[in-house]
Chain A
Amino acid sequence: MPALPLEEAGKYVAGAYVVFAALIVVYVAIMAAKLQRIERELRELARFAEQGSPGTPGREAEDVPVDSAQPPADSDRNLTPSESVGGAAERVRGGS
């Protein structure tokens, strides 16, 4: 089978690499959703622990995503989960 001319071949090669890149991005997106869920649950738990009483933590009005006030999560900062939750809670309390 003769080799395809460059223009046609290029599309296939690009297609293969695009599929590869797309799979990586999809995976990252799924992991991001998981991470969001972990963050949300940690926030609930922190609130629950601070209240110190049993009972379903309600969804309060202050539970607005604080991302606009906060710089995006930066891996260089090495924030531990408890630090960032505590910090976010502080900011929300100060802001509302």
Chain B
Amino acid sequence: MMTPSRRALAAILAKDLRTELRTLQSLPAMALFAVTTFVIFRFGLDRTSLSGDLAAGVLWATLLFAAILGVNRLFVAEREEGGFDAIRLAPIDRTALFAAKAAALLVYLVALELVVVPVFALFFLDSAAALAPLAAVLLLADLGLAATGTLVSSMAVNSRARDLLAPLVLLPLAVPLSIAATGAAEPLLAAGGPSYERFGTWLAVLGLYDLIFLLVGYAVFDFLLED
């Protein structure tokens, strides 16, 4: 059933995706950034193949930093084109904006991973067996990043030094997420083949993180849009 809020949500989401598809700006740039980072890791760690903890760490760190590049751009368009005012004036639930932005960020992150993870496997992994369960882990992690990234970005956009502020605040916030994501990924990427050691535990932590920050975002977002 299309309530006004849901219609608004769909409209904002469509607008963001349309803008992104039209300009195709940040996605290729983020992907390029990630692939170049892999090359740097190859030389920095002096390794041509990775497994286990190193693989999980390199993959997650790279994705996280690429995500931060995307987060910075999330609300810039709104701020510059006065989109915030339009949304404030519209008689809809403002949390529709939160849901829409978080969904857009999620879509960006998933699209990014669709490119970056196969490249990672190509560069560093011996087999692609782990990729399917890894996708599940990354999806849950992306959801958490989408929630916190949207929250932080919406606060940072109204500040001075906003390019520094979003990463500064987002990184510590992403630590539990990072611990859980790499905790699950490490046995998956083990040299002998994927192992599911503590897989359930880590997925539960990821799920808990997602739930908590989606709820918190839903609860506080109104206060961020007040003039």
Note whether A and B contact each other (Cβ less than 8 A). Answer: no
Residues of A in contact with B (beta carbons under 8 Å apart): none
Contact residues of B with A, CB < 8 Å?
none
